[in-house]
Chains A and B, each alone.
Chain A
Amino acid sequence: MFGLEKRDTSMLIIVAVLTMFAPFILNPFPAGSALAQFNAGYPDLMQRFVIFGIFAIGFNILFGLTGYLSFGHAAFLGVGSYSAVWMFKLLSMNVIPAIILSVIVAGLFSLLIGFVSLRRSGIYFSILTLAFAQMSFNLAYSVLTPITNGETGLQLTLNDPRVLGVSATADGSIPVTNLFGMEMRSTFELAVGPWAFQFNAGYYLCAVILLLAFYLSIRIFRSPFGMMLRAVKSNQQRMNYTGLNTRPYTLAAFVISGMYAGLAGGLMASMDPLAGAERMQWTASGEVVLMTILGGAGTLIGPVLGAGFIKYFENIFSKINDGVLHSWFSFMPDGLENAMVTLIHPFVGKGWHLTLGILFMLVVIFLPGGLVEGGQRIRKWAKNKRSGGETPTGKTEPAE
């Protein structure tokens, strides 16, 4: 189906089902119950899942296929956000032109940076992209303030000169982003017994775009172009010796992944029309690297998993405070309860980054293929056990 192999089709369908029914799947606990804080089915978080999913899918096209580790991808996301907000300010509150512009601008920007950075490889490439991203970040903070509004961040105001549409609504507030009249923030609530499911227009727009982005990335992975990128990863020198110039291929991959980042930035601004320079900082670039590696670099589904995993735990873990911990362990004797709470306290709440760092290190050390490789190992182990302990092949398949 859709020109895909059977396996890829089923993966696409699984992702489609997961994203379309996310408001149900992420909301398994009734509102008001003790476990309700593990629910992630609210629009803001679900939007972030898919937006960062798109970002990570794009990053994976560069890093997973060609092996070029870029430490400056957040710059493209930031540029995308800025251009989307400018489109809202100047043209119309419809998200379509904003997203298109952010993809185009991020593409041009990444063409420029990629053209220079891809002259070198390995760590030099990482440093070059890092340098460019930090440069954009510093400039956005200082000299480019007329365009970026510096530290405050670019926001909509009541007197934006909007060509199509009004600068302020009748009741004197800033108009909201919409898709041909459908407001991005409008949410339909469905109450089933104690459960409250929220269906948000913005989320579904993002989800549809995620599916398109995912489909495109499958096509790229399976195309001759994707094969060429993999060849660059495994042995660039040999490619050069066969008389093939790899630069256009890597540059194309770089620009594509930059456009994905721009798309993510544009979507982010469409959901919440503001853009700040901190989105371009190198720690933000580090985050997408974490997501991709954690999920499994070079695999199709990995980056989406990683993005969802990190964003979910970031939100859920950081909400757990001492009170919650005490209520969990209240069945234990007092001394033990307090001991458990003190033991776990540094890892939750504000200490969430500690957990993330440890988790990330463990993944890099023991599971270089990320969550996907973990899943494969478990499946293989289960299979071996069922078939009565056949000799294991001893070689892990490259994660696809």
Chain B
Amino acid sequence: MDAILLQILNGLDKGSAYALIALGLTLIFGTLGVVNFAHGALFMIGAFCAVTVQRLLNLSFEVVDPDKTDFLGQPLKVKTPYVEAWFGPEMGGAIIDWAVPLAILFAIPIMIGVGYVMERGLIKHFYKRPHADQILVTFGLAIVLQEVVKYFYGANPIQTPAPESLNGIVNLGAVIGMDIVYPVWRVVYFLFSVVIIGGIFSFLQFTTFGMVVRAGMADRETVGLLGINIDRRFTIMFGIAAAVAGLAGVMYTPINSPNYHMGMDFLVLSFVVVVVGGMGSLPGAVLAGFMLGVLESFASMNEIKSIIPGIDQIIIYVVAIIILLTRPRGLMGRKGVMED
């Protein structure tokens, strides 16, 4: 029982990353009808926003301390981050410690900006082109973004730890009298993704803006004829989708040290997730994300691996193939999407 609960937890935290990326992909697809292969790169850029914030906060100046000497007998140089000098050592230390959560504030405007520029500068010109062209141009863009990041940050993974207080482990099972020890940050990640997903859904459901966007997704032309500038709203949605992917990346950095090709690794899986969930269906994307995450973690249990060796490596693809062949529109796909 413990093991099963633990696997579900494991699956949920991987699944939340899948769900967040797939949600963004589906938002873009549902609104603009564009297949965005650069979405993984947006996830990666988000992760590197966290790296940047961490580096910025750690910018420091050196002072020679005449009282102390290092082991060679020379005066010791003491490095003090600017933040500590401005806010005092305790407050400054805390700010540096909380670099990753702080990066969220930094990442939101940057990601929305990146998304806006991408849509206006490139994707706009590809609405009328075939889907193959969209895939190809965004694939090229992904390569470019990846290489730019590699140029500035190098090819090695960069460690970005979570805040000290969220870095430990917690016994989640204590409440129900069981023993389930789990890293705190992964719980945070899961809760964070639930908040984001909930936020996006309520934004679309309960605001006027969201209503117009949903109307546009259902029938773009009619909404346009009503005198609403739907293109501008869709551009904003693209920015929001980019921000969702970016935030998923920011929060993922303590789980897995970011490197420049992390986006590509996630991209393939999140496309599978989108297709399993059904092209253009937001609940489908979220559901499929969590489902595939949980299935993947169950498949990596030793008991199951001993029955079917290697199943943990391929379970997602097997599920995807079965679903695509039996339910051609995915779990919750709408009629008439991508069927031309």
List residues of A whose CB falls within 8 A of some B CB: 67, 69, 116, 119-120, 122-124, 126-128, 130-132, 134-135, 138-139, 141-144, 282-283, 286, 289, 293, 346, 351, 353-354, 356-358, 360-361, 364-365, 368
Q: Which of A122, A131, A356 contacts B272 (CB 8 A)?
A: A131
Q: Which of A116, A139, A364, A368 contacts B325 (CB 8 A)?
A: A116
| Residue from B132, B318, B328 having most chain A Cβ neighbours under 10 A | B132
Which 6 A-B residue pairings sit nearest by Cβ, starting from the closest? A143-B310, A357-B143, A138-B313, A354-B147, A361-B140, A357-B144
Majority SS of interface residues in chain A?
A: helix
B295 to A: closest C-beta gap in Å: 14
Q: Which of A69, A131, A286, A360 contacts B317 (CB 8 A)?
A: A131
Q: Which of A120, A126, A131, A353 contacts B147 (CB 8 A)?
A: A353
A373 to B: closest C-beta gap in Å: 14
Report the Cα distance A135→B271, complex, angstroms.
15
Given contacts A131-B317, A134-B268, contact A119 B325 (CB under 8 A): yes
Extra inter-chain contacts (4) besides given A138-B310, A354-B144, CB under 8 Å: A69-B132, A123-B279, A353-B146, A356-B143
Report the Cα distance A286→B264, complex, angstroms.
12
Given contacts A126-B135, A351-B151, A357-B147, contact A116 B321 (CB under 8 A): yes
Asked if A128 and B144 make an inter-chain contact with CB atoms under 8 angstroms apart, the answer reads no
Q: Which of B132, B275, B309 contacts A124 (CB 8 A)?
A: B275
A-B contacts at CB below 8 angstroms, number = 106
A146 to B: closest C-beta gap in Å: 11
Report the Cα distance A132→B272, complex, angstroms.
11
Does B136 make an interface contact (CB < 8 A)? yes
- B324 contacts which chain A residues (CB < 8 A)? 120, 124, 127-128
Given contacts A120-B324, A134-B317, A142-B313, contact A289 B136 (CB under 8 A): yes
Chosen A-B contacts, 18 in total, with CB atoms closer than 8 Å, are A120-B324, A122-B338, A123-B279, A124-B275, A124-B328, A131-B320, A132-B317, A134-B268, A135-B314, A139-B313, A141-B313, A144-B310, A354-B148, A357-B146, A360-B143, A361-B140, A361-B144, A365-B137
- A142 contacts which chain B residues (CB < 8 A)? 310, 313
Does B139 make an interface contact (CB < 8 A)? yes
Given contacts A354-B151, A360-B143, contact A123 B328 (CB under 8 A): no
- A134 contacts which chain B residues (CB < 8 A)? 268, 317
Does B35 make an interface contact (CB < 8 A)? yes
Does B141 make an interface contact (CB < 8 A)? yes
Chain B window 49-67, contacts with chain A (Cβ cutoff 8 Å), 1 for yes, 0 for no: 0000000000000000000
Asked if B131 and A123 make an inter-chain contact with CB atoms under 8 angstroms apart, the answer reads yes
Report the Cα distance A368→B122, complex, angstroms.
15
Asked if A353 and B143 make an inter-chain contact with CB atoms under 8 angstroms apart, the answer reads yes
Q: Which of A131, A139, A356, A357 contacts B310 (CB 8 A)?
A: A139
- A289 contacts which chain B residues (CB < 8 A)? 136, 139
Given contacts A124-B338, A139-B310, A139-B314, contact A283 B264 (CB under 8 A): yes
Given contacts A143-B313, A282-B268, contact A360 B147 (CB under 8 A): no
| Residue from A119, A131, A141, A142 having most chain B Cβ neighbours under 10 A | A131
Asked if B317 and A357 make an inter-chain contact with CB atoms under 8 angstroms apart, the answer reads no
Chain B window 22-48, contacts with chain A (Cβ cutoff 8 Å), 1 for yes, 0 for no: 000000000000010000000000000
Asked if B338 and A364 make an inter-chain contact with CB atoms under 8 angstroms apart, the answer reads no
- B144 contacts which chain A residues (CB < 8 A)? 354, 357-358, 361
Report the Cα distance A119→B321, complex, angstroms.
11
- A356 contacts which chain B residues (CB < 8 A)? 143
List residues of B whose CB falls within 8 A of some A CB: 35, 122, 125, 129, 131-133, 135-137, 139-144, 146-148, 151, 264, 268, 271-272, 275, 279, 309-310, 313-314, 316-318, 320-321, 324-325, 328, 338-340
Report the Cα distance A141→B320, complex, angstroms.
20
Residue of B nearest to A131 (CB): B317
Q: Which of B146, B148, B151, B321 contacts A131 (CB 8 A)?
A: B321
A367 to B: closest C-beta gap in Å: 12
Given contacts A131-B320, A135-B318, A139-B310, contact A286 B139 (CB under 8 A): yes
A60 to B: closest C-beta gap in Å: 14
A179 to B: closest C-beta gap in Å: 37
- B268 contacts which chain A residues (CB < 8 A)? 130, 134, 282
Report the Cα distance A283→B340, complex, angstroms.
27
Report the Cα distance A214→B101, complex, angstroms.
57
Report the Cα distance A209→B106, complex, angstroms.
56
A50 to B: closest C-beta gap in Å: 25
A278 to B: closest C-beta gap in Å: 13
B15 to A: closest C-beta gap in Å: 18
Residue of A nearest to B313 (CB): A138
- A283 contacts which chain B residues (CB < 8 A)? 264
B174 to A: closest C-beta gap in Å: 36
Q: Which of A131, A143, A364 contacts B133 (CB 8 A)?
A: A364
Given contacts A130-B268, A134-B317, contact A123 B143 (CB under 8 A): no
Report the Cα distance A353→B338, complex, angstroms.
31
- B338 contacts which chain A residues (CB < 8 A)? 122-124
Residue of B nearest to A352 (CB): B147
| Residue from B140, B151, B310, B339 having most chain A Cβ neighbours under 10 A | B140
- A132 contacts which chain B residues (CB < 8 A)? 317, 321
- A138 contacts which chain B residues (CB < 8 A)? 310, 313-314, 317
Given contacts A123-B338, A131-B320, A283-B264, contact A357 B275 (CB under 8 A): no
Q: Which of B132, B151, B275 contacts A127 (CB 8 A)?
A: B275
Residue of A nearest to B145 (CB): A357
B277 to A: closest C-beta gap in Å: 12
Asked if B313 and A122 make an inter-chain contact with CB atoms under 8 angstroms apart, the answer reads no
B154 to A: closest C-beta gap in Å: 10
Residue of A nearest to B148 (CB): A354
- A135 contacts which chain B residues (CB < 8 A)? 313-314, 317-318
Report the Cα distance A360→B146, complex, angstroms.
14
Asked if B137 and A364 make an inter-chain contact with CB atoms under 8 angstroms apart, the answer reads yes
- B272 contacts which chain A residues (CB < 8 A)? 127, 130-131
Q: Which of B135, B140, B151, B325 contacts A69 (CB 8 A)?
A: B135
Asked if A361 and B137 make an inter-chain contact with CB atoms under 8 angstroms apart, the answer reads yes
Report the Cα distance A120→B317, complex, angstroms.
16
